[in-house]
Amino acid sequence: MLQEGKYLVIKPALLIIDMQNDFIREGSPLRIGGAGAAIGNMADILDLFRVKGHPVIHVLRIHRQDGSDVEISRRDLFRKTPFAVEGTPGSEVISELSPRSGEYIIHKTRMSAFMGTDLDLLLRSLGADTLFVTGVQTPNCIRTTVFDAFALNYETYLVDDAVAAQTPEIHQSNVRDMAAIGIHIVKTEEIRGFL
Amino acid sequence: MLQEGKYLVIKPALLIIDMQNDFIREGSPLRIGGAGAAIGNMADILDLFRVKGHPVIHVLRIHRQDGSDVEISRRDLFRKTPFAVEGTPGSEVISELSPRSGEYIIHKTRMSAFMGTDLDLLLRSLGADTLFVTGVQTPNCIRTTVFDAFALNYETYLVDDAVAAQTPEIHQSNVRDMAAIGIHIVKTEEIRGFL
């Protein structure tokens, strides 16, 4: 837990997952209902990582226009309502969290930020051993990324008030399962003292 | 959904995950509480796949005796209570589901049956496109395997009464999340007509 951080040197990296207009903005057909309240916390954590000079990694779902790289089970949805299409405003990071020069961008086509990407290689190259995970949405892209991080032996902190799901109940049942395997569940305000 | 199966030719494979003595037997320190009731259903499905001649894949967590291949976050637990150690009776499949000649065995060291294994390659080699997932436990090895199967474009059926978790509530909240991404949730008795 974070308390041990007083005696340990951790090499942290921040993951901000899928905070793109298509998934967040009011009126977007694929909007995650509970995301609004978490944005301010993500912005606070992003500021902290920037001030401290720790790596920031923006993980984005980006699809080709023809949808050939969408999960087969989601092709019908994509045809009806294309989402996260490369080059469109909907695929861009929301303005509150816009990436800056020196920050990393990872494009993915699946839920887990590790699947089919060079995220693991990047983290090893950076020497990062501890991940702080933020973004949307808790049961899907957040949880698959967290479980893969666990399997790949990263010390993983889920920032409970900087991730979101469609409903608080869905969020909470997933946080329960992640805590049960040993993921550290923390609040935004707890992070400051340890970086 | 399965109803479509009347008009489609599916190439099914059965996954039976982590049904090993250390995780199932009464008195085992790592026993999954809710597993007992699901064993009979798994045995029924296994019989059906055997009669029909469809591939059966027993997925087992198997660790080296020194624990070097255990997730780092679980090393302390493993040192205190070694589990699924190669060559021990605890690591063997429970007698009710013992593998037969011609069935496949996959060893894994992580939750997902796809991580660090040749399961995806085996399924492709078999021509399997549709997975029926059974075993323990719903939030961990079952769910990570199901989400990876989804990402890898397998049509995936979770057999609701042939998987189990520590409590019904944990099981149900995970089934809800899997249904939400398009995993087919079925009962054992529904399978017979479609194979």
Q: For the segment B115-143, what is each residue's pLDDT rounded down to a tens digit?
A: 999 999 999 999 999 999 999 999 999 99
Taken in order of first residue, the domains within chain B and their CATH numbers are: 2-194 (3.40.50.850)
**B178 interaction partners in chain A (CB closer than 8 Å):** none
pLDDT for residue A122 is more than 90: yes
The pLDDT assigned to A7 comes to 56
The pLDDT assigned to B192 comes to 85
> Whole-prediction pTM value?
0.91
Q: Do B182 and A74 touch (CB under 8 A)?
A: yes
The parts of chain B modelled with pLDDT lower than 50 are none
Q: Do A182 and B115 touch (CB under 8 A)?
A: no
- The pLDDT mean for chain B works out to 94
Q: Which of A76, A105, A81, A86 lies closest to A16, judged by CA?
A: A105
Q: Do B147 and A144 touch (CB under 8 A)?
A: yes
CA distance A67 to chain B (A): 14
Helices (H) and strands (E) in chain B, counts: 7, 6
Residue A65 CA to residue A86 CA, distance in Å, equals: 7
The pLDDT assigned to B40 comes to 97
Residue A158 CA to residue A166 CA, distance in Å, equals: 17
Token pair in block for residue B124: 């492709």
- Average pLDDT on A141-166 reads 97
Instruction: Find the helix packing angle between A143-151 and A168-180, rounded to 10°.
Output: 10
Quickly count: other Cβ atoms within 10 Å of residue A142's Cβ: 29
The pLDDT assigned to A159 comes to 98
Q: Do B73 and A150 touch (CB under 8 A)?
A: yes
Cα angle B108-B111-B115, degrees, rounded to a multiple of 5: 60
Cα angle B97-B99-B104, degrees, rounded to a multiple of 5: 130
Asked if A52 is an interface residue toward chain B (Cβ–Cβ < 8 A), one would say no
Asked if B71 is an interface residue toward chain A (Cβ–Cβ < 8 A), one would say yes
The pLDDT assigned to A6 comes to 54
- The pLDDT mean for chain A works out to 94
DSSP letter (8 states) at residue B86 = T
- Best of A4, A148, A166, A184 to mutate (most B CBs within 10 Å, chain B): A148
- What ipTM score was computed for the predicted complex, to two decimals? 0.86
pLDDT for residue A3 is more than 60: no
Q: Do B151 and A180 touch (CB under 8 A)?
A: no
Per-residue confidence at A37, pLDDT binned at 50, 70, 90?
confident
The least confident of A32-41, A87-96, A169-178 is A32-41
Asked if A68 is an interface residue toward chain B (Cβ–Cβ < 8 A), one would say no
